[in-house]
């Protein structure tokens, strides 16, 4: 029998404890980080966030009014900085329409919020789900590459792509936003620790459920 998502969460949490994600001091920083970390590692994204903070204090109104070329220069270390700069501008311009009132945005769009997020430049499925969980307090599975590899190891099907797994699996009904937050963080950090291609450490606390190659 495949380990359920609820039981997997309990095992990961018991072994690893709270992860205190997302690593940011404000929701604005989370949004910026979710865009800048795309197609790069967190270190490069963090350098870009630090530079942007030095220049703007991460004030969204100041960032929105930066000339695009200037913004792109500040975030250059994150890679793909031209597209990411345009994405930050577009996302912030959209948020500014609601004066960055996330509760109002959530109430305005309701169940259509995810689709609205996907319509914004630079917001794909994973980024949309990250924003739903960490900005709009939603309850979503974020089946990133680490999560798909873990669930594949556990015998889950439909792990070939983000979209496919998202369509075929949901978090337990009793999950809160905090549960969804922690579950994503636990899966991601577990993946980094055990599936990074550099170590062969056995994940003994899951040995009853994993087949360790």
| Tokens standing for residue 101 | 């009132």
- The predicted model gives 116-135 an average pLDDT of 97
Residue 103 sits in a domain whose CATH number is: 1.10.340.30
31 with 127, same domain? yes
73 with 126, same domain? yes
Contacts of 142 (CB under 8 A, 6+ apart): 126, 129, 130, 133, 180, 184
Kindly state the DSSP code that residue 110 receives in the 8-state scheme. Answer: G
Domain boundary among 134, 166, 191: 134
Look up the domain containing 96 and give its range. Answer: 27-134
Secondary structure (3-state) at 28: helix
Count CB neighbours of 80 within 10 A.
16
> Is 211 a domain residue?
no
> Is 191 a domain residue?
yes
31 with 130, same domain? yes
72 with 113, same domain? yes
pLDDT level of residue 206 (50, 70, 90 thresholds): low
42 with 125, same domain? yes
pLDDT level of residue 185 (50, 70, 90 thresholds): very high
pLDDT for the residue 2: 79
The model's pTM is 0.91
| Tokens standing for residue 2 | 């495949």
> Is 213 a domain residue?
no
150 with 118, same domain? no
| Cα first-last separation, the chain | 19
Longest Cα–Cα distance of the chain, Å, equals: 56
36 with 120, same domain? yes
CA nearest 190: which of 128, 147, 158? 147
63 with 130, same domain? yes
> Is 128 a domain residue?
yes
118 with 178, same domain? no
pLDDT for the residue 1: 59
Residue with the bigger pLDDT between 164 and 1: it is 164
155 with 102, same domain? no
Over the stretch 69-82, which tens digit does the pLDDT of each residue have? 999 999 999 999 99
Count CB neighbours of 19 within 10 A.
19
What mean pLDDT, rounded, does the chain reach? 92
Domain boundary among 134, 152, 171: 134
Over the stretch 10-53, which tens digit does the pLDDT of each residue have? 999 999 999 999 989 999 999 999 999 999 999 999 999 999 99
Q: Is the pLDDT of residue 205 over 70?
A: no
Contacts of 118 (CB under 8 A, 6+ apart): 124, 125, 128
Domain boundary among 134, 152, 169: 134
């Amino acid at each position: 029998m495949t380990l359920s998502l609820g039981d997997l969460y309990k095992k990961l949490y018991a072994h690893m404890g709270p992860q205190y994600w997302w690593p940011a001091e404000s929701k604005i920083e989370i949004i910026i980080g979710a865009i800048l970390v795309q197609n790069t590692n967190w270190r490069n994204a963090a350098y870009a966030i630090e530079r942007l903070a030095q220049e703007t204090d991460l004030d969204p109104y100041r960032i929105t009014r930066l000339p695009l070329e200037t913004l792109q220069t500040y975030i250059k270390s994150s890679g793909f900085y031209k597209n990411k700069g345009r994405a930050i501008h577009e996302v912030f311009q959209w948020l500014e329409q609601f004066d960055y009132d996330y509760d109002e945005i959530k109430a305005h769009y309701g169940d259509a919020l995810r689709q609205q997020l996907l319509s914004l430049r630079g917001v794909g499925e994973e980024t949309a789900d990250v924003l739903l969980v960490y900005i709009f307090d939603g309850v979503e599975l974020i089946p990133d590459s680490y999560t798909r590899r873990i669930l594949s190891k556990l015998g889950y099907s439909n792990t070939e792509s983000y979209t496919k797994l998202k369509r075929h699996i949901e978090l337990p009904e009793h999950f809160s936003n905090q549960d969804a937050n922690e579950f994503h963080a636990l899966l991601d950090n577990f993946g980094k620790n055990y599936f990074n291609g550099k170590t062969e450490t056995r994940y003994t606390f899951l040995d009853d459920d994993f087949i360790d190659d």
